[in-house]
């Protein structure tokens, strides 16, 4: 099945064009022409979402679950076509797109199951105590309610799982919030075909057409118009620190400030403790190299920095460099990402006290791995060394002792993940690091690799800034629905006026 994009926006059930257009820049295959979004498109979509909220926000959990499952069905029905255009636009391999499609439909179905159970509602009831002295107590009931229309920005590095019908969209729709997606210009055809799937599910389930709109990427003012629209109540974003911070500031400066749930950047440090370094240094190096280069290093959980005792570094770095040498040139998602990767690599390479372990040459959209090392003292003295280089880039930090590892941990910015490589003999050292790492990251791993984020009940994909802009939230897992609900208390409200979801 071959899909040829028509290049239009989906706004309240209607495919519409516009005067301004852009051409896609695929890694291979044909380029296509698309209508570029405008503030007018945004206004139409948001107003339709607000109108839809008066029915969708008060719909039953059963109906919303059926809708989410229908979206998953429609995506699966277009599976081959999605993979074809997705690989063309991004350069990602077929197996990666197939796996990501399964993740996307899987999280839609997980949210359908999750809302049917009702646990996310956090229902609470304090029964009336009219005879209590000195003051009686009213009957109090509390429940989580949807907040209203939500804006979602498609991610460049996950054309399916973090884009049109990805985790942010699934969580918002599950909560009862209509969604306006601003598609990413790196994969507009992929975004369009997934939007078609959502639209088909809307028709099948007889939902208000304003429950979902898709506007193709346009100028910066399109994104600004979306986050500043007075009817938007929250924003989900996965992308660069610079772009995310600019949108975050716009949300904060609105007459009515709204939450901006941005996942922005992380170096995901790995600490190799003494016993692990002695027992498994080479094996850890080989495994780490595979994680570092997975998807051309374009995962937000890419473990870009390793902290290891200097007298144990040779086993690790030798094995890592040997494994990295075997990695062929990989295609990056966009020319812009590839250019930023090369600039980041050059910036770190030129820093004082940084030594090359493995250098390569890459150009265009091709990426090859780089490996450097420096001392903990140099790393602590230069904030640039703690900045993310998005791509297959690794930095090994050599620590004199455990105390210096502590110093590096204390100096970290907020992270999505921190990893401990440890043996049983390292437990006391690991225990001493845990309080620091808990304050730095949303997920802490032992003897694992952070690439690969399970979509589940207990997952946290977030962390202190700049890993994310809201440390109390996650963008992966069922807890992410909390971003798009708020608690409402009902005092002495008659049963007939209460939301239906108070019933188990």
Look at residue 1 in the predicted model and tell me its pLDDT: 66
Q: How far is CA 187 from CA 32, 70, 104, 334, 444, in A?
A: 11, 23, 16, 9, 32
Neighbours of 446 (CB within 10 A): 12
Average pLDDT over residues 374-401: 97
Q: Are 443 and 461 in contact (CB under 8 A)?
A: yes
Residue 235 bridge partners (DSSP): 151, 260
pLDDT tens for 148-193 read 999 999 999 999 999 999 999 999 999 999 999 999 999 999 999 9
DSSP character at residue 464: S
Q: How far is CA 278 from CA 309, 310, 316, 319, in A?
A: 10, 12, 10, 13
Q: Give the Cα separation of 258 and 346 in Å (integer).
A: 38
Percent of the chain with pLDDT over 90: 95
Q: Which of 180, 184, 181, 179 is nearest to 158 (CA)?
A: 184
Look at residue 201 in the predicted model and tell me its pLDDT: 98
**pLDDT beyond 90 at 246:** yes
Look at residue 86 in the predicted model and tell me its pLDDT: 96
Look at residue 500 in the predicted model and tell me its pLDDT: 85
Average pLDDT over residues 53-62: 97
Percent of the chain with pLDDT over 70: 99
**pLDDT beyond 80 at 439:** yes
**pLDDT beyond 80 at 504:** no
Look at residue 360 in the predicted model and tell me its pLDDT: 85
Look at residue 218 in the predicted model and tell me its pLDDT: 74
Catalytic residues: 263, 300
Look at residue 2 in the predicted model and tell me its pLDDT: 80
Look at residue 503 in the predicted model and tell me its pLDDT: 66
DSSP character at residue 78: T
Neighbours of 50 (CB within 10 A): 19
Q: How far is CA 483 from CA 177, 265, 362, 457, in A?
A: 11, 19, 40, 15
Q: Give the Cα separation of 384 and 300 in Å (integer).
A: 18
Q: Give the Cα separation of 103 and 455 in Å (integer).
A: 8
Q: Which of 443, 438, 449, 437 is nearest to 475 (CA)?
A: 443
């Amino acid at each position: 099945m071959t899909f040829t994009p028509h290049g239009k926006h989906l706004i309240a059930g209607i495919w519409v064009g516009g005067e301004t257009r852009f051409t896609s820049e695929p890694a291979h295959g044909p380029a296509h022409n698309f209508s570029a979004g405008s503030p007018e498109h945004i206004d139409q979509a948001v107003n339709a979402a607000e109108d839809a909220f008066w029915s969708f926000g008060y719909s039953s959990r059963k109906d919303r679950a059926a809708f989410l499952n229908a979206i998953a069905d429609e995506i699966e029905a277009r599976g081959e076509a999605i993979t074809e255009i997705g690989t063309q636009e991004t350069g990602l391999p077929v197996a990666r797109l197939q796996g990501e499609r399964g993740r996307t439909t899987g999280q839609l179905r997980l949210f359908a199951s999750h809302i049917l159970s009702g646990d996310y509602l956090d229902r609470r009831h304090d029964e009336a105590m009219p005879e209590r002295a000195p003051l009686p107590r009213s009957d109090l009931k509390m429940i989580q309610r949807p907040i209203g229309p939500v804006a979602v920005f498609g991610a460049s590095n996950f054309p399916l799982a973090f884009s049109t019908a990805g985790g942010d969209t699934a969580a918002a729709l599950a909560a009862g919030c209509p969604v306006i997606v601003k598609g990413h210009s790196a994969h507009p055809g992929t975004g369009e075909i997934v939007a078609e799937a959502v639209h088909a599910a809307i028709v099948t389930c007889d939902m208000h057409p304003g429950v979902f709109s898709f506007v193709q990427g346009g100028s910066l003012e399109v994104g600004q118009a979306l986050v500043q629209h007075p009817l938007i109540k929250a924003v989900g974003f996965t992308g660069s620190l610079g772009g995310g911070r600019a949108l975050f500031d716009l949300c904060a400066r609105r007459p009515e400030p709204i939450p901006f749930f941005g996942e922005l950047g992380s170096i995901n440090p790995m600490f190799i403790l003494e016993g692990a370094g002695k027992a498994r240094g080479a094996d850890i190096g080989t495994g780490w190299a595979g994680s570092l280069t997975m998807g051309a290093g374009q995962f937000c959980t890419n473990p870009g920095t390793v902290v290891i005792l200097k007298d144990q570094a040779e086993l690790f770095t030798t094995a890592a460099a040997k494994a990295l040498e075997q990695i062929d040139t990989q295609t990056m998602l966009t020319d812009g990402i590839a250019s930023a990767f090369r600039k980041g690599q050059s910036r770190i390479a030129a820093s004082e006290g940084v030594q090359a372990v493995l250098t390569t040459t890459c150009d265009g959209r091709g990426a090859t791995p780089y490996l450097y090392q420096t001392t903990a003292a140099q790393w602590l003295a230069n904030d640039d060394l703690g900045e993310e280089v998005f791509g297959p880039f690794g930095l090994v930090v050599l620590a004199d002792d455990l105390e210096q590892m502590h110093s590096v941990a204390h100096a970290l910015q907020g992270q999505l993940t921190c990893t401990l490589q440890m043996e049983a003999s390292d437990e006391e050292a690991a225990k001493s690091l845990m309080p620091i790492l808990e304050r730095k990251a949303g997920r802490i791993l032992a003897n694992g690799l952070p690439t690969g984020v399970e979509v589940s009940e207990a997952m946290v994909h977030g962390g202190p800034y700049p890993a994310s802009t809201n440390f109390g939230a996650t963008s992966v897992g069922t807890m992410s629905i909390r971003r798009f609900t708020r608690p409402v208390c009902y005092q002495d409200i008659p049963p007939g006026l209460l939301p239906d979801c108070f019933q188990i």
